[in-house]
Chain A
């Protein structure tokens, strides 16, 4: 697909979602990124990225259960689609192949 590649942040969000499984929703993703990568990201950035990914059919969402914690609001849980998984694999493969070439040219 033309111009269809993942941005760095998109890749990060997708990976975090995959890791979080059924708990992959907005604020949880923000917290997870903070914990794992020690990186502070804004909630709105995460939301927009999620919707964009959904638009690209790389992720899909469904409404999860409500908890008292959120003022009784439902969570929107995000899940990777097969296309999303494929895209992640491709990205990873591309990176690895590049890394391998870097290894060959390694300066001693």
Chain B
């Protein structure tokens, strides 16, 4: 046929659904022919185009009777089959379900933690361009703050790259007093007119941001602080006393979120003398950070006693993970810890995913017949894959409510554990919701990949025969997965063992100093002048519950002393030093070895004596240290002291460190405390003892809240990371073992079911139940042996590396690894035997006629 406008047909065949193409195009052609008989060729051609175009209609293009409705029908069929399967294989799916839920839940918890840790200080007004000015003073110590003289200069127009500068200082702890309430505050003081709220973004509840900090003596309180001082609101305009000032409340902000490095509950704007201030600058986009750092360090403030040698501009968002500087506002976070958490969560996720993969491929292996029938009936490869995926998603998605429930229940305890008030963002934040979904979907994808790849490429005939399918591909993958699982398990378990062994070692190690009944008062810097220390000491000692009272550095305080020059040696500054009174050695039970100091009566002591530890003597290489001269701060109007006693080494630093050389200045009569007050109390009457200390303190310092705690708690704080890691590793290893055992139960019962016939034949041929159990266990024993070797080597080196952080550590016995491996073999053996025992004991007649 001679057609003039063939393009119409091309177009139609593109637009129309396949099923309709023939009938529509056919009709169109027929109409054309009819028209040709009735009208002229030109009109017929025009009508052909016109009618053809009219046929390209939504109503027709949408027609998809066969394709869609059948897909839909198949989809429902898949769903029904999936649900039937779930019901039929309840036990295995329950194992899958519980395992996945636990895996996802622990992963989600860690996700919340990581998300919180990475979100520090991102909510401020211009976080990308905001920096904190930290400084190195006298080429020795880095401070998060800088001398006020520098900050003053930053606030002038001298630096074009600085838009805004905010400074504040930390105030000593003082009570806020209103009516009869005395509330302990944590205050910072800024200058009147400060741009504090232009830089830091805290939600204002009451007051006007523009004029909150304009007047001197204005105070901005956090909401909970205001509630504690005044009770009910509104608070603005209220007056309260703080130190010697009376302050007027000009604004209330919400309590600070936990993800900021700032820490205060009272912000005061007032002109007070400032020495070191925390300074923050907001820079414009063109600023060159390094150049500006140099320019700031080069500012000449006409004071070279505490000159700033180097300046570091810390991006505000990164402060949380920067190394801790002296006198930080808040202890910074540890990246190491973040990694540890994420690593363990990943382990758990891997273990539960491998469980899931193993078990699902085993479940699928039993459904080869169903697959074969589907193939024979014309199911496409895509259709089969869809079915697998759908089933897998169904199970994974069903875990989500359970995961959310677990998060809801466990979050309070977990928050407590990481010491961060975490919120369940899985119901509010889209990014968190989608990341959870992503993990879930990825896991179910991973679990289905292997059965999909094997089954869909098999011919229906092969699938009908079943069985072999696993041996060809599935078993290898499963072996690898099981080995990975056992390896992780062993690694976690032995790690937990050694961390806790080391913790035990730390707890029981004799530090050479009394650590049980000592209470430490840490805010003694408020006790300056006028014999306040002495008065408190005398009042305290008059109480029957106070057995001793002294001052000094408790163990664990890492502050190195002044430069010194010992007789016949170069100048050095590697010794720990502090001043105390004569009672220190008695109260702290530090043993004096020899020297006049330990023999003289108190009244015969000179006003100041220098005592050193054994390590110091050893370092100097002195035969007889008594009477040797040590010059303090040599060159710089230094003073000479001669050694009058040697005491036994004690662990003045945490057990991460070696014993350090140490010297102590003992003064006969101290007017003020040096570092901390150390009080020996009556452990039988702890409450009364604390009351006695407080009573003595407040009789001298009525307006300063006392900060006291057991010294041992402080010592233990040095190991806080390890303790957390210890607890975490124990609970997670238990979880991991639980998961693994669950997976094993599912897997072995499936495997033995699969091998029912084989077992039956073996029995007929004379195998005993025991032999069959051994046969079933053999595979696992081999895998665990491989896992033990891998986990043993990796674990040994990792643990040894971790222990290197401690100068005093427990030993790593390599024997532990095979023992742990044996333990796992035992657990596996029990699981496998209990599970497959039924099959092994079965009458072979039944086994063989199985199916």
Contact = CB atoms under 8 A, between A and B. Distances in A.
> What 3 A-B pairs are tightest by C-beta distance, nearest first?
A73-B26, A76-B23, A26-B27
A23 to B, nearest CB: 12
Interface stretch (B52-60, B312-320, B532-540, B786-794): B52-60
Given A27-B31, A69-B30, A51 B22 contact: no
14 contacts: A27-B27, A27-B30, A43-B27, A44-B60, A47-B55, A47-B60, A51-B20, A69-B29, A70-B29, A71-B1, A73-B22, A73-B25, A75-B26, A76-B22
B24 interface: yes
Contact of A25 (B27, B33, B34, B54): B27
A26 B23 contact: yes
B337 interface: no
A8 interface: no
Nearest to A55: B65
A70 B60 contact: no
A43 B31 contact: yes
B239 to A, nearest CB: 73
Interface in B19-55: 20, 22-31, 33-34, 51, 54-55
Contacts of A44: 51, 54-55, 57, 60
A41 B63 CA distance: 21
Most buried by B among A30, A51, A63: A51
A42 interface: yes
Nearest to B33: A69
A21 interface: no
A22 to B, nearest CB: 15
Interface of A: 25-27, 30-31, 42-44, 47-48, 51-52, 54-55, 63, 66, 69-71, 73-76
Contacts of A75: 22-23, 26-27
Contacts of A30: 31
B55 A73 contact: no
Nearest to A72: B26
Contacts of B27: 25-27, 43, 47, 70, 75
Contacts of B26: 26, 66, 70-71, 73-75
Given A70-B30, A74-B23, 5 more contacts: A30-B31, A44-B55, A44-B60, A52-B59, A73-B29
Most buried by B among A30, A48, A54, A74: A48
A73 B60 CA distance: 18
Contact of B55 (A25, A43, A76): A43
A76 B30 CA distance: 13
A69 B55 CA distance: 20
Contacts of A70: 25-27, 29-30
Interface SS of chain A: helix
A30 B30 CA distance: 11
Contacts of A48: 57, 59-60
Nearest to B26: A73
B151 to A, nearest CB: 77
Contacts of A25: 23, 27
A63 B60 contact: no
A55 B27 CA distance: 20
A30 to B, nearest CB: 7
A42 B1 contact: no
A39 B154 CA distance: 92
Most buried by A among B1, B26, B34, B57: B26
Interface string B211-234: 000000000000000000000000
Contact of A47 (B24, B34, B65): B24
Nearest to B50: A42
Most buried by A among B20, B22, B30, B55: B30
B28 A43 contact: yes
A76 B18 CA distance: 13
Contacts of B33: 69
B179 to A, nearest CB: 73
Nearest to A54: B65
Contact of A43 (B54, B59, B63): B54
Nearest to A60: B65
A73 to B, nearest CB: 3
Contacts of A74: 22-23, 26
A99 B222 CA distance: 84
Interface in B41-89: 51, 54-55, 57, 59-60, 63, 65
Contact of B54 (A42, A69, A73): A42
A26 B55 CA distance: 12
Contact of B25 (A42, A52, A54, A71): A71
B2 to A, nearest CB: 11
A49 to B, nearest CB: 9
Most buried by B among A27, A42, A52: A27
A92 B822 CA distance: 86
B34 A31 contact: yes
A59 to B, nearest CB: 11
A76 B27 CA distance: 9
A74 B21 CA distance: 9
B63 A51 contact: yes
Contacts of A51: 20, 59-60, 63
Contacts of A54: 65
B17 to A, nearest CB: 10
Interface in B792-806: none
A48 to B, nearest CB: 4
B298 to A, nearest CB: 83
Contacts of A31: 34
A74 B18 CA distance: 12
Contacts of B1: 71
A102 B543 CA distance: 116
Nearest to A64: B23
B788 to A, nearest CB: 66
